[in-house]
Amino acid sequence: MTVTVSSYATVQPSGPAAAVPGIAPERFKQAFRRYPAGVVVVTADAGRGPVGFTATSLSSLSLSPPLVSFGIGTSTSSWPHIERASTAVVNFLGVEQERLATTFATSGIDRFAVPTRWHRLPGGEPVLDGVAGWLRLTVQSIVPAGDHRIVVARAEESWLGEGRSPLLFHDGSYHSIRNAPDQ
């Protein structure tokens, strides 16, 4: 097998960025735009009302105990709330929920205002109505990672809908996986 790389991105460091090794931020974004990811909305309430944000960084980490991780930027409006939250909910979005993904990715708005439909779980966590599934999490640790934090959390409870296609993000837009009909 032969692999051909047709272009390289190089960075000529200068100033404060000279101390930060690695590829240029735009090239890094280009690489990950080509990597499809599932779309979730992470919600929480650390006592100041519900917050939430759209994420594509959800990963399963461990089966025993059941651990997941997700990343959040420290400059986001949700970060101070997530930093203080002891629990959170990962809301798995279905293909028909692109509008919900866009709402929770938009800064400067009340993401929980109408038309967003949501309710609270018995422990007080906000969960979105009509999602393809959700995981209720207990935050275990928060790990610094550049301009983001990685939240490691234990899955405590779940609800999963059946027969829903997931919402995916790839190359700057939303997509779905549709199973071909049985032949």
Q: How far is CA 116 from CA 65, 73, 83, 126, 160, in A?
A: 33, 23, 24, 12, 20
The band of 7, judged by pLDDT with boundaries at 50, 70 and 90, is very low
Helices (H), the chain: 25-33, 79-84, 98-105
Residue 81: CB partners within 8 Å, gap ≥ 6?
Answer: 44, 45, 46, 48, 51
Higher-pLDDT residue of 5, 38: 38
- 32 or 61, which is more confident: 61
**Overall pTM > 0.85:** no
What pLDDT does residue 5 have? 31
Q: Where are the alpha helices (DSSP H) in 21-174?
A: 25-33, 79-84, 98-105
pLDDT for the residue 20: 61
Structure tokens of 143?
């790990």
**Three-class SS state of 18:** helix
Say if residue 13's pLDDT is above 80: no
Which region among 23-37, 44-58, 75-89 has the lowest average model confidence (pLDDT)? 23-37
Please give the share of the chain, as a percent, with pLDDT higher than 90: 68
Question: Is the distance from CB of 157 to CB of 135 less than 8 angstroms?
Answer: yes
Q: For 16-33, what is the mean pLDDT?
A: 75
Mean pLDDT computed over 142-154:
97
Written as one letter, the residue type at 45 is: D
What's the rounded Cα separation, in Å, for the pair 91 and 167? Answer: 11
Structure tokens at 134: 């959700």
DSSP state letter for 166: B
Asked if pLDDT for residue 109 goes beyond 50, the answer is yes
pLDDT band (50, 70, 90) for residue 179: low
